[in-house]
Amino acid sequence: MEAQVNSLRPSEPQGGPAQPHNVVRLTEVTKVFKMGNNVVEALKGINLSIRAGEYLSIMGPSGSGKSTLFNMIGALDKPTTGRVFIDEVDVSQLDAYELAWLRCRKIGYIFQTFNLIQVMTAIENVTLPMIFAGMSRDEYMEKGLKNLALVGLADRYDHKPSELSGGQQQRVAIARALANDPAIVLADEPTGNLDLTTGEEIIVLLKKLSTERGVTIISATHDIKMLNVSDRVVWIRDGRIDRLEEREKLRISIGEVA
Amino acid sequence: MAIVVQRQVILPWRQVIRIAFNSLKVRLFRSVITTITLALAIAFVAYTWSGYAMLNSLWPAADPDLQRIVLAKGYEPVGDQFGSSPKDRWLMFLSLLVAVVGIVNAQLMAVTERFREIGTFKCLGALNSFVVRIFVLEAMYQGFFGGLAGGLTGITFSTLSLGAKFGRPIFSNWPPAQMLFILSWACLLAVILSLLGVIYPALVAARMQPAVALRSEQ
Ligand SMILES: Nc1ncnc2c1ncn2[C@@H]1O[C@H](COP(=O)(O)OP(=O)(O)OP(=O)(O)O)[C@@H](O)[C@H]1O
Ligand SMILES: [Mg+2]
């Protein structure tokens, strides 16, 4: 382990132990998509600090840039300008091996469309990130089954995604996102393709992860129910942060909505 | 502060081979279709080439009557060799062209319809080299089996068709060593063309940002 250690250090001194540090920080992030003569400014200068262990929701109308922001935070795409720091490491400075390590170990991804590997069973999907992490077969099988049990699907381990309901597929995706005990779970409209009750179950599961394991949950969503469990909500509109609300204030503004 | 980012380990070949093999097995229908496309293209090559090999083996042993029949059927030797007249060369070139286009196209399609899967692999921590290796291995399996099946089919059909035209002497003068040589070449050709078809789209896909790969339609 020690031999593989990377020389990258945090670029800023950390605060005292009492203060949770910023697990993600974005400075002046923009993203421009060019398609022929068409230029879309999906993000127009995002500044955002996300604290370790918080449950953060990203709300905003369709096309406001939530998924684009999700991809920036998750190091799944490169910003046009600006910087993304994960644990105060500048993502743009990482090479391919370090990026893969980051995606494998540090971040778990959950998508609206589940994105399970269709030709693999539930257990194969869940254990894939562990195989990439270099675990032995005994280790990853044990942990994979444990993770499936956590999401209530231990008995379905041998089923293909096509043999599971939408809610069950999303549970498998959550079990997979937790494969290597990531510090961050990133979710892009995790309840978007699910009915109300199933969506609620998924939200409860994410909240449980946040409170019991201290995982930082970052979730883009349209789902108002997501607000109840969030510590903070970022509202984005037209590629910019419109407002940022803490939990206490949230109650009031939801009251206004209702 | 503690170390923040480490380097991803490279997956051992054993795991890559297992994943590639499973992927072919599970997608059996799709991979059989690709393999059959490959086999058909190779069958045409093997049919053409083994035909010349049999004629070359038959010619010195044939009596003048049979030689006249062979010439009457439109086969033209240059010197004492079949397969080197301009018409024959054109046929051989054509058979190769069919194989190249057929195989490269089949593999190209097979990769592009899996961009989303590639994006998912990368989100889960796959290195670019893993993605490329998976496709290279799958293409090699398919190339080998497609080449073998196509080679055997082509040789069988050309033997039967020449046998029907010229009778017993074709079978008694059948050249096993040359046929084995053609079969080996057919397999090698199929593997190479299969790799050729897969390598470019696989490299492109492996280098895509995961977000871009995930956006593509399935
Ligand atoms: N790869 C791309 N190429 C071109 N334009 C893009 C691309 N990705 C996003 N956009 C554009 O950027 C803008 C923001 O898109 P994004 O997907 O981030 O919105 P969103 O908030 O996630 O919407 P939704 O709630 O519908 O998922 C949109 O105008 C979209 O058309
Ligand atoms: Mg979106």
pLDDT in tens, B178-213: 999 999 999 999 999 889 888 888 898 889 999 999
Q: Does residue B133 belong to the interface with chain A, where contact is any CB pair within 8 Å?
A: no
Q: Is the pLDDT of residue A77 over 70?
A: yes
pLDDT of residue A20: 64
Mutate to test the interface with B, among A66, A113, A118 (most CBs of B within 10 A): A118
Which B residues, 34 through 93, put their C-beta within 8 Å of a C-beta on chain A?
A: none
Q: Is the pLDDT of residue A218 over 60?
A: yes
Residue A11 exposure: Cα atoms within 13 Å on the Cβ side: 14
Instruction: Say whether A103 and B124 touch across the interface (CB within 8 A).
Output: yes
Return the CATH number of A53-80+94-254, one of 3.40.50.300, 3.40.50.620, 1.10.3720.10, 3.30.565.10: 3.40.50.300
Reported as a single tens digit per residue, the pLDDT across A106-148 is 999 999 999 999 999 999 999 999 999 999 999 999 999 999 9
Q: Which residues of A76-104 are buried (b: 16+ CB within 10 A; e: fewer)?
A: bbebeebbbbbbbbebeebeebbbbbbbb
Are A6 and B3 a contacting pair, CB within 8 Å? yes
Q: Do the domain assignments include residue B45? A: yes
Q: Do the domain assignments include residue B167? A: yes
Reported as a single tens digit per residue, the pLDDT across A84-99 is 999 999 999 999 999 9
Whose CA is closest to atom 29 on ligand 1? A63
pLDDT of residue A257: 46
Using an 8 Å CB-CB cutoff, list chain B residues near A120: 22, 26
The overall average pLDDT reported for chain A is 88
pLDDT of residue B91: 82
How many A from CA of A63 to the centre of ligand 1?
5
Whose CA is closest to atom 14 on ligand 1? A65
Q: Is the pLDDT of residue A192 over 60?
A: yes
What band does A46 get if pLDDT is binned at 50, 70 and 90? very high
**What total number of domains does chain B contain?**
1
Reported as a single tens digit per residue, the pLDDT across A194-209 is 888 888 988 998 999 8
CA-CA distance, A229 to A251, in Å (whole number)? 11
A252/A212: higher pLDDT:
A212
pLDDT of residue B102: 81
Q: What is the ipTM of this complex?
A: 0.86
Q: Do the domain assignments include residue B108? A: yes
pLDDT of residue A253: 59
Residue B218 token pair: 């399935």
Does A113 sit in the ligand 1 pocket, CB within 6 Å?
A: no
Q: Do the domain assignments include residue B50? A: yes
Could you tell me the residue ranges of all domains in chain A?
53-80+94-254
pTM of this prediction exceeds 0.90: no
The parent domain of residue B156 ranges over: 37-76+87-215
Residue A82, min C-alpha distance to chain B (Å): 17
Stretches where chain B sits below pLDDT 70 are 1-3, 217-218
Considering only alpha carbons, which residue of chain B is nearest residue A91?
A: B5
Give phi and psi for A175, each to the nearest 5: -60, -35
Alpha-carbon radius of gyration of chain A:
18
Q: Do the domain assignments include residue B25? A: no
Among candidates B88, B95, B83, B82, which has minimal Cα distance to B45? B95
pLDDT of residue B43: 92
User: Which pairing describes strands A38-51 and A22-35: parallel, antiparallel, or unpaired?
Assistant: antiparallel
pLDDT of residue A7: 43
Q: How far is CA A219 from CA A193, B184, B202, in A?
A: 14, 56, 31
Q: Do the domain assignments include residue B30? A: no
Phi/psi region, residue A52 (left: phi>0; alpha: psi -120 to 50; beta: rest), is beta
Does A162 sit in the ligand 1 pocket, CB within 6 Å?
A: no
Smallest Cβ–Cβ distance between A104 and the set B8, B116, B128 belongs to B8
Q: Is the pLDDT of residue A48 over 50?
A: yes
Does A65 sit in the ligand 1 pocket, CB within 6 Å?
A: yes
Smallest Cβ–Cβ distance between A101 and the set B1, B6, B117 belongs to B6
Q: Does residue A26 belong to the interface with chain B, where contact is any CB pair within 8 Å?
A: no
Are A176 and A195 a contacting pair, CB within 8 Å? no
Q: Do the domain assignments include residue B14? A: no
Q: Do the domain assignments include residue B1? A: no
H or E, element range at A227: helix A225-229
Residue A21, min C-alpha distance to chain B (Å): 11
Residue B212 CB neighbours (<10 A): 15
Does A38 sit in the ligand 1 pocket, CB within 6 Å?
A: no
Residue B162, min C-alpha distance to chain A (Å): 45
Which B residues, 186 through 205, put their C-beta within 8 Å of a C-beta on chain A?
A: none
Instruction: Say whether B27 and A119 touch across the interface (CB within 8 A).
Output: yes
Task: Tell me the ligand closest to B215's alpha carbon.
Answer: 1
pLDDT of residue B201: 84
Q: Does residue A10 belong to the interface with chain B, where contact is any CB pair within 8 Å?
A: yes
Q: Does residue B28 belong to the interface with chain A, where contact is any CB pair within 8 Å?
A: no
